[in-house]
Amino acid sequence: MFFKLDSFALVGIDAIKITIEVHLSRGLPGLYIVGLPGKAINEARQRVRSAILNSGFDFPVKKIIINLSPADIRKEGSLYDLPIALAILAASGQISPGCFEDSCFIGELSLDGKINPVRGLISMTEKAVELQKKYFFVPGTNADQASFFKEIDIIACSTLKETIEIIDSGSPGRNAYKKICPDIIGNNSYEIDFSEVKGQFKAKRAIELAAVGMHNILLMGPPGSGKTMLARRIVSIMPRLDLEQCMEVTKIQSLCNGSNNGIITRRPFKNPHHTISRAGLIGGGVYPGPGDISLAHRGILFLDELSQFPSQLVEDLRQPLENREVVITRNQMSYCFPSNFMLVLATNPCHCGFWGDNENRCKCTEREIKRFWKNLSGPIMDRIDIRVFVSRLKEEDYINTELGENSEKIRERVERAAAFQGNNGKGRKKKYNSESNAAMINEWLSGDEVLRKNAFMLGKKFKLSARGLSSIIKVSRSIADLEGSKNIKNEHILEAAGYRAIKVYG
């Protein structure tokens, strides 16, 4: 007796179709799984057997061979428990196979037959839609993630017995999970707020511009000046995610957190410690998964105390910052993870922390300061669009009890500017000014000869690379967007150059 049904496997962030093939024959009773299964899949033999028996069905006393096709791709995880159990019951004639051809299944089984959540559900649902499946049987606890797809009926199941009852009814569509219109506006409040930050108006202005165009920013200053406090609040003023971006973020986060229910509407904020491993930051492992640069996709990657990070880790950010994705190759397979994040760096200017401070004298020698900045290479600094020195607060500013401008007001300005730059995109596929290409930069400069001349003079004065000069133009475009100006003006490009003029020591 032979039977097969469809399920999915995760390869990086994407899903591929896996066919569960079951063959029942006479011979020494046993359950054998082939097709490059991982340890968690081999353990499915005990889970599936117990779940079938505890759900009131008979486990066939036969030789059972299960093949996970294609057999040349390594399969990992416990997400095949449900399709394996259903395939065994269908092959033994205990359930009707009527809707199996139009359906696909995923889920982990408990010993009592309950279905536990799985990871990567959005990627699998996208693949099911691509395969033109009518029904997708998923765990009920994280069915919300797949409920936004209108092209397929999501069947949320809590137990193996409930799943079989829906299949035997002959009309799974009647039990389809209610389609949900995603609420991407609500639940976007943060516990931290910019109103708690006193003074630092220059730094706040630079951060607001960075949020408008998703520009990378470096906050440099003495200890206690508020660099970390400012950086942690940037996410509270960034534009809200649209539905497409919410799906991107949820898809990546669900690879690491299968129990996450619903769609993620907040921008991610990742703040790794300097002891993080290379695989933890960039991604990888024996079975590659996303690192913090991918988990920060559409959000912020904040490296606090930059000087403490190994130089190799910082240098590894070069390609993801340029390509906005990271490709990891393992065992002749490539795994691509998106990594379009805003990089925020915070550091002291030297070992003692007071180089450049007006009140405290720096105790470091010139050689020590140069060694302090040695880990930060020129190519990495070239990718930092905005650099700002965060001075220590004066005593009168610190004891001032008046609250500053809150995050909601700042975010309203940022969202207006983001909408303005989106309208100026003229149909091009870009979300923010930092993603603009050479053609768009040429278009911004084409109508103003004086602006082009000033840009040339700035590039010559600061000895900028082509990337550095385009960075100034992109930031000046964000300044213009924030002011609602259709064209870049000279004062915009001069302000942008001021953010670029701060150079590290040496």
Tens of pLDDT, residues 379-405: 898 999 999 999 888 766 666 667 778
Give residue 260's pLDDT band: very low, low, confident or very high (50, 70, 90): low
The CATH fold assigned to 2-175 is Ribosomal Protein S5; domain 2 (3.30.230)
> The tokens 């219109």 sit on which residue?
181
Model pTM above 0.85: yes
Pick the residue with more confidence: 6 or 72? 6
- Give the length of the chain: 506
| Cα separation values, 308 from 269, 311, 367, 502, Å | 20, 9, 18, 21
Give residue 172's pLDDT band: very low, low, confident or very high (50, 70, 90): confident
pLDDT higher than 90, residue 357: no
* Closest of 194, 241, 258 to residue 404, by C-alpha: 194
pLDDT given at position 178: 72
Q: Where are the domains of the chain?
A: 2-175, 194-501
pLDDT higher than 90, residue 170: no
pLDDT given at position 431: 74
Tens of pLDDT, residues 309-338: 999 999 999 999 999 999 998 877 888 999
Mean pLDDT lowest among 251-255, 300-304, 410-414:
251-255
Q: Please state at what angle helix 407-424 crosses helix 466-483, rounded to 10 degrees.
A: 110
pLDDT given at position 267: 93
pLDDT given at position 376: 81
The overall average pLDDT reported for the chain is: 89
Encoded tokens for 384: 């930092």
> The tokens 């490059």 sit on which residue?
36
Q: Specify the DSSP element, H or E, that contains 218.
A: strand 217-220
Yes or no: say if 247 and 122 are a contact pair by the CB < 8 Å rule.
yes
Question: How far apart are alpha carbons 293 and 321 in whole angstroms?
Answer: 9
pLDDT given at position 503: 63
pLDDT higher than 90, residue 211: yes
Residue 196 CA from chain centroid, whole number: 28
Tens of pLDDT, residues 17-48: 999 999 999 989 999 999 999 988 999 999 99
Yes or no: say if 179 and 145 are a contact pair by the CB < 8 Å rule.
no
Residue 470 CA from chain centroid, whole number: 26
pLDDT given at position 138: 95
Yes or no: say if 359 and 241 are a contact pair by the CB < 8 Å rule.
no
Mean pLDDT lowest among 98-112, 214-228, 345-359:
345-359
Pick the residue with more confidence: 489 or 505? 489
> The tokens 């450049």 sit on which residue?
356
Question: How far apart are alpha carbons 264 and 266 in whole angstroms?
Answer: 6
% pLDDT > 70, the chain: 93
Highest averaged pLDDT of the listed ranges 70-79, 359-368, 392-401: 70-79
Question: What end-to-end distance do the CA atoms of the chain give, in Å?
Answer: 75
CATH pick for 194-501 out of 1.10.357.10, 3.90.79.10, 3.60.10.10, 3.40.50.300: 3.40.50.300
Question: How far apart are alpha carbons 146 and 123 in whole angstroms?
Answer: 9
Mean pLDDT lowest among 174-188, 199-213, 327-341, 464-478:
174-188
pLDDT given at position 422: 65
pLDDT higher than 60, residue 505: no
pLDDT given at position 6: 97
Give residue 182's pLDDT band: very low, low, confident or very high (50, 70, 90): low
pLDDT higher than 60, residue 92: yes
Amino acid (one-letter) located at 182:
P
Instruction: Please give the average per-residue pLDDT across 221-246, as a whole number.
Output: 91
Give residue 483's pLDDT band: very low, low, confident or very high (50, 70, 90): very high
Give residue 185's pLDDT band: very low, low, confident or very high (50, 70, 90): low
Instruction: Please give the average per-residue pLDDT across 204-226, as a whole number.
Output: 93
pLDDT given at position 272: 96
Number of Cβ within a 10 Å radius of residue 209: 26
DSSP secondary structure code for residue 114 in this structure: B
pLDDT higher than 70, residue 467: yes
